[in-house]
Amino acid sequence: MSRLVPPHIAAIDPYPPGKPIEELERELGIKDSIKLASNENPLGPSPKAVAAVREKLDGLHRYPDGSGYYLRRRIAEKLGVPMEAVVIGNGSNEILELVIRTFVRPGLDVIIPNPSFLVYRLAVQTVGGTVVSVPLKDFTIDLDGILRAVTDRTRLIFINNPNNPTGTVLPKTAFTDFFRALPADVVVVIDEAYIEFAPSGSTFDGLDFVSAQGPWVVTARTFSKAYGLAGLRVGYGVMDPAVAAFLHRVRQPFNVSTLAQAAALAALDDDDFLERSRRVVREGLEYLYRGLDALGVDYLPTHTNFFLIAVPVDAKKIYEAMLREGVILRAMNAYGLDRHIRVNVGLPEENERFLKAFAKVLEQFT
């Protein structure tokens, strides 16, 4: 069988998702586990989104609106961009993949900060492109390093802002200088999956760099995080309409379900829920920082809803021990950070439970 598969596909290591709660409880025979592994919204979905989904249930025998007209129109209104500049996708992951399928082919390079979101590398590998990895500098994307890596083979550059898994952001002045130094024939993908959590004034808005001339910019955003719709898979990209027209050529028809479109449309206007989501993250981070300070544990302050914690042993050992305590988090070994775990903010009671379990686990290894 393997001889039928192209080498660039056979070489791919599948994406390692966060362990589902149901799987952990089934494996260990435990109940009431908590998951702080996948940067999900602890408040759940917007109540307005839930109501919108219920209203659409009787129409599930019909195909969804393939153009996503109403959702695209509302996103455009909200952001002050032309509707033709908006492409919706099955999560922002699909937007990233559409850009790669549109612009990358064997022989072309894609520059990716490392560590950053693992899906970038996987998606580039599926089309036979070459990944050029640029290490972070002090846990932050090294813009100068990326500029040095640009060649005439460079087609795409990924910028994850805030960066996953480090939670760091780029200052607007630094990114502006970087952007102006780029050649006109590259495409910059600014992944803003967590931008809603970034404090005001802490970083730049990718939309400010979208224009009708190169370097070309695609911003990708999601409803999975701040809006709490991870299970429905819906996101969007904003770009020059000429770029959007090419993405529409490669996307699948009916790529965003009826329920996902309805939920996203309702969530987009639920400003109260969005502010509650931001507040629970701010307050949760303050609580977790205090708890980790009391334990004498190093961590990386974040601009989003998750953060890195340094651990004294291989992160997989901490991960396994925390599973036995009924707490799911992420070991960062796959990101090259073998002595770090990543934890997202939960509800107050979940944050408290994490700190108690983490303190207990640390005693086993110190």
Quote the pTM value. Answer: 0.95
> What are the tens digits of pLDDT across the range 206-260?
999 998 787 899 999 999 999 999 999 999 999 999 999 999 999 999 999 999 9
Whether the predicted pLDDT of 313 surpasses 90: yes
The whole-chain average pLDDT of the chain stands at 96
Q: What residues are paired with 218 via a beta bridge?
A: 189, 239
Whether the predicted pLDDT of 29 surpasses 90: no
Residue 228 is predicted with a pLDDT of: 98
Section 148-166 average pLDDT: 98
Whether the predicted pLDDT of 45 surpasses 80: yes
Cβ within 8 Å of residue 258, ≥6 positions away: 56, 59, 60, 62, 64, 65
Residue 24 is predicted with a pLDDT of: 82
Each residue of 91-115: b (16+ CB within 10 Å) or e? bbbbbbbbbbbbbbeeebbbbbbbb
Band (pLDDT 50/70/90 cuts) for residue 6 is: confident
What are the extents of the domains in the chain? 2-44+272-365, 49-268
Q: For the domain bounded by 2-44+272-365, which CATH number is listed?
A: 3.90.1150.10
Q: Which tops the pLDDT comparison, 19 or 95?
A: 95
Band (pLDDT 50/70/90 cuts) for residue 17 is: confident
Domain formed by 49-268, architecture: 3-Layer(aba) Sandwich (3.40)
Determine what percent of the chain falls in helix, strand and coil, rounding each to the nearest 5: 45, 15, 40
Residue 14 is predicted with a pLDDT of: 78
- How many C-beta atoms surround the C-beta of residue 355 within 10 A? 18
Band (pLDDT 50/70/90 cuts) for residue 62 is: very high
| Lowest model confidence (mean pLDDT) among 18-32, 52-66, 80-94, 181-195 | 18-32
Residue 212 is predicted with a pLDDT of: 77
Section 51-62 average pLDDT: 97
